[in-house]
Structure 1
Amino acid sequence: MEFKALRAFAAVVRQGGFSQAAKHLFATQPTISKAVRQLEHELGITLLDRSGHKSRLTAAGEVVYHRALRILAERDDLLAELDEIRGLRQGSLQLGLPPIGSNILYAPVFARYRKRYPGIDVRLVEHGSDRLESLLLSGDIELGATLLPAPDTFDSQPVCCEPLVALLPADHPCAGRQSLDFTDLGDTPFILFEASFSLNRILLGAARRRNLKPVIAARSSQIDFITELVATGMGVSFLPRRIAQQRPHPKVAQVLLDEPDTQWDMAMIWRRDAFLSPAARAWLDIVREIYPPA
């Protein structure tokens, strides 16, 4: 059984089709189709039901897909261990960062890393924390940044812990206060980030603990757009303090959120018990230099 065939099959499932998988693997669609057919022939069973407009996993395909993810992740671990022999003069680092705060927290790390290890190719993907955790589990990235607490399947290294501030329309009754909690906001609607952002989970979890169910007025992945929605009076949103301070707006007030367990507790995470390549360990070392443990 060839790794190439397993990778092609896993890509078809993950990417949602043969053409998408071909683009993801920088191959032609016939090449991907041939690899999957060869895998089915070798195993003696159909993995994909191609009878409809979209290929679907058969029962056997489900089993092979989940096994393939583990096999490919183990292969990547093996190759990473071999890369250690070569040192840090060449290699790559698959890194996942969230859109929120990366310019503040990780741009200095990236700059120092690039200066110290110019031969390492940093392959960066940007998603919300929940999506990054999925990519870590599937082996598509080696390190990711997320909000704590992280699932038990990951090990972590702290980066920073920052309070949140509420972004309020300038004429909101709480706009002049030093701090507030959710009960002070009354029925003010929330403006949240897209569903894959862990910050939503933290905020909505805190609201549930107070038996509150806020109305969600809008969702977006763009901080500037969210700020403008707040300025129009649509609702309240929340940002880490140091990020909010970089985006002052004449029609938006920033008030400290005094709500338990809502800190922006950022960390680098990786699959527990996975081998970390020298490139990944070097990244963590620089993170520790810039953000030493308290």
Structure 2
Amino acid sequence: MEFRPLRAFVEVVRQGGFSQAAKTVFATQSTVSKAVKQLEEELGTPLLDRIGHRSVLTAAGEAVYRRGVKLLADRDDLLAELDEIRGLKRGSLRLGLPPVGSSTLFAPLFAVYRQRYPGIEVRLVEYGSSRLEESLRAGEIDFAGALLPTTEEFDWQLVRREPLVALLPSDHPLATRRSVTLAEVRDTPFILFESGFTLHRVILDACRRAGFEPDVVARSSQLEFIVELVGAGLGIAFLPRMIATQRRNPAVRHVLLKEPDTEWAMAMVWRRGAYLPAAAQAWLDLVREVHGPGPHSPSD
């Protein structure tokens, strides 16, 4: 059902005639008459019983008028709401962020975004990268913070690149070195993130390229706990330099990991070809504004 004929019909009833309704909808009387006739033909029943110069509602007309008033009001409300959403006065932004590095990289962005768009609700979830990618594929979130490289099904905008450092107990024989390779620490137990974290896969893949399987003595999703385990002498761990620097422990030393293809590259990722609502596009624009246009997916 088209709204224009319905609005013409409602105004005819409200105004008590076709000529008065024509003035209300800024149309000619014949145009209003044709619109009402079109609505009657579409519904297959008369809506008005025309008696001389008067028009009386039929039973069907009463039902259409009653519901038509509500339909038109709902339509007007919908259009007003869409205008607010497009104007970023209302809406929601659905973000998925990994626990590692999010506070440093994204908390300042949240503050700016909130200041600019106070009417936008930010819905935040925190998972490891694998779980975030699943949520992104399912359309549960608009963006995910993820480590590169990612699959071709996603577009991405680079946020930060950082080298990895090895966290060594202070009494480890290599703790005073400026850099180490994985081969040099292969005999030391490893403390890794849980398997759902991309950094877990990055370290394991690098070890396999170096020709060995590490002795993994612990896995955790808690960053502070991993640092404490290293300080207690349980083994060694690996973190982006930026994150490690913020979590100093007197019993832990940071040594640069000199290993190819282990750089930590955090990006904002979204489904390739997906529609981005106004609130989501505003977030992406802010990321690019703060972190520069930088490298991005070729399809972007």
Taking structure 2 as the reference length, what is the TM-score of the superposition?
0.69
Distance 1:127 1:233, change over 3 A: same
Please say if 1:265 is aligned against 2:265.
yes
Corresponding position of 1:165: 165
Aligned equivalents of 1:85, 1:174: Cα separation in 2: 56
Aligned equivalents of 1:212, 1:178: Cα separation in 2: 23
DSSP 3-state at the match of 1:279: helix
For the pair shown, which has the larger CA radius of gyration, 1 or 2? 2
More divergent stretch after superposition (98-107 vs 85-94): 85-94
- Contact conserved, 1:169 with 1:231, CA < 8 A, in 2? yes
DSSP 3-state at the match of 2:265: strand
Unaligned runs of 5+ in 2: 1-81, 295-300
Question: Which whole-Å deviations, capped at 9, do the CAs of 1:87-118 have from their partners, x for residues lacking one?
Answer: 21100011100000111000011000000000
Aligned pairs (5 A) from 1:213-228: 213-228=213-228
Corresponding position of 2:86: 86
Q: How much has 1:215 moved relative to structure 2?
A: 0.9
Q: How much has 1:201 moved relative to structure 2?
A: 1.0
Aligned equivalents of 1:136, 1:265: Cα separation in 2: 19
Corresponding position of 1:24: none
Aligned equivalents of 1:282, 1:175: Cα separation in 2: 45
Amino acid across the alignment from 1:98: P
Please say if 1:128 is aligned against 2:128.
yes
Amino acid across the alignment from 1:145: G
Identical positions, percent = 60
RMSD: 1.3
Corresponding position of 1:290: 290
Distance 1:84 1:166, change over 3 A: farther
Aligned equivalents of 2:85, 2:91: Cα separation in 1: 11
Q: How much has 1:86 moved relative to structure 2?
A: 3.0
Please say if 1:277 is aligned against 2:293.
no
Q: How much has 1:186 moved relative to structure 2?
A: 3.1
Question: Which whole-Å deviations, capped at 9, do the CAs of 1:69-90 have from their partners, x for residues lacking one?
Answer: xxxxxxxxxxxxx679632110
Distance 1:83 1:125, change over 3 A: farther
- Contact conserved, 1:91 with 1:121, CA < 8 A, in 2? yes
Amino acid across the alignment from 2:195: A
Question: Which whole-Å deviations, capped at 9, do the CAs of 1:17-52 have from their partners, x for residues lacking one?
Answer: xxxxxxxxxxxxxxxxxxxxxxxxxxxxxxxxxxxx
Amino acid across the alignment from 1:132: L
Corresponding position of 2:233: 233
DSSP 3-state at the match of 1:218: strand
Stretches (4+) displaced over 4 A: 82-85
Aligned equivalents of 1:213, 1:293: Cα separation in 2: 39
Aligned equivalents of 1:233, 1:113: Cα separation in 2: 42
Corresponding position of 2:147: 147
Amino acid across the alignment from 1:88: L
Corresponding position of 2:111: 111
Corresponding position of 1:177: 177
Distance 1:202 1:233, change over 3 A: same
Amino acid across the alignment from 1:96: G
